[in-house]
Amino acid sequence: MPQARFLGHACVTLTEGDHRLIIDPFLTGNDKATVRPEEIEVDHVLLTHGHGDHVGDAISIAKRCGATIIANYELALRCAKEGVNVHPMHIGGAHDFPFGRVKLTIAHHGGGFGEDASIYTGPPVGFLVTIGGKTVYHPGDTGLFLDMQLIGEMNQIELAFLPIGDNFTMGIDDAVKAVELLRPRRVVPMHYDTFDVIKADPNEFAAKVKDCQAIILNPGDNIDF
């Protein structure tokens, strides 16, 4: 049975048998994180976009573990310059990896690496990850978009992680609407409370969600799916 672990902000690990991957490993610099990057052991690192609170410790983790970074073409090539293995993909494309399948979806947000986010890292993406026969949707940072309805129609989403922190991404009410469009079986709120400007009450989100089980995970919590 695959397992997801929420590590704070937008960072999630997915494991199944010997397969271990991490999405958006922002640990150093996140006061809410309960795990240090040195403790992470993974084979793949998935990055939704080039912002620092998502790329985070990706390079150091990938180097130490010999892991492959999966990201959009531009961000992947930027990471390759740092001397790590990469697998570039792009929006609409899917690929079968040893752990399962990854498909890149659109996301409405920015992209940019470095101190002033001036290094071009292509458009932001979301991920549909199928592992252990179950599909997880991690949209990265995004606003609400109607194509979520299409993503929901074409995929049976077991578990969705959705940003609720507002300001940079969907807020609570838009995330509730996203659940209606995506129709996941379970949803976990993310991308809130890390910084003052994205403070949000996950209980309010959970109370507003309809026809879906909302699960609030604290950094470090696991869920079998």
Closest Cα to residue 212, out of 167, 163, 152?
152
Binding of Ni ion by 141 (CB under 5 A): yes
Piece of 6-14, 61-69, 140-148, 155-163 that binds Ni ion (CB under 5 A)? 140-148
| Residue recorded with tokens 């002033």 | 116
Binding of Mn ion by 24 (CB under 5 A): no
Q: 166 is in the binding site of which of Mn ion, Ni ion, none (Cβ under 5 to 8 A by kind)?
A: none
How many chain residues are in contact with Ni ion, going by CB under 5 A?
Answer: 2
Can you list the alpha helix ranges (DSSP code H) found in 58-167?
Answer: 58-65, 73-80, 148-154
Q: Which is nearer to Mn ion, 146 or 197 (CB)?
A: 197
Tell the smallest beta-carbon distance from residue 49 to Mn ion (Å): 8
Q: Which is nearer to Mn ion, 2 or 124 (CB)?
A: 124
The token duo for 48 is 């939704």
Binding of Mn ion by 53 (CB under 5 A): yes
Alpha carbons 80 and 62: distance in angstroms, whole number: 11
Q: 5 is in the binding site of which of Mn ion, Ni ion, none (Cβ under 5 to 8 A by kind)?
A: none
| Residue recorded with tokens 């990201």 | 71
Write the DSSP string, 201-213. -HHHHHHH--SSE
How many chain residues are in contact with Mn ion, going by CB under 5 A?
Answer: 2
Q: 186 is in the binding site of which of Mn ion, Ni ion, none (Cβ under 5 to 8 A by kind)?
A: none
Instruction: Tell me if 12 sits within 8 A of 129, measured CB to CB.
Output: no
Alpha carbons 4 and 110: distance in angstroms, whole number: 26
> Binder to Ni ion among 5, 51, 134, 186 (CB under 5 A)?
51
**Cα dist from 42 to 37, 88, 93, 147, 174, whole Å:** 11, 18, 23, 31, 32
Q: Which is nearer to Ni ion, 190 or 206 (CB)?
A: 190
Site string for Ni ion, 61-100 (x = CB under 5 A): ----------------------------------------
> Binder to Mn ion among 24, 74, 141, 193 (CB under 5 A)?
141
Tell the smallest beta-carbon distance from residue 200 to Ni ion (Å): 16
**Cα dist from 115 to 2, 43, 53, 112, 151, whole Å:** 36, 28, 12, 9, 33
Residues that bind Ni ion (CB under 5 A): 51, 141
Residues that bind Mn ion (CB under 5 A): 53, 141
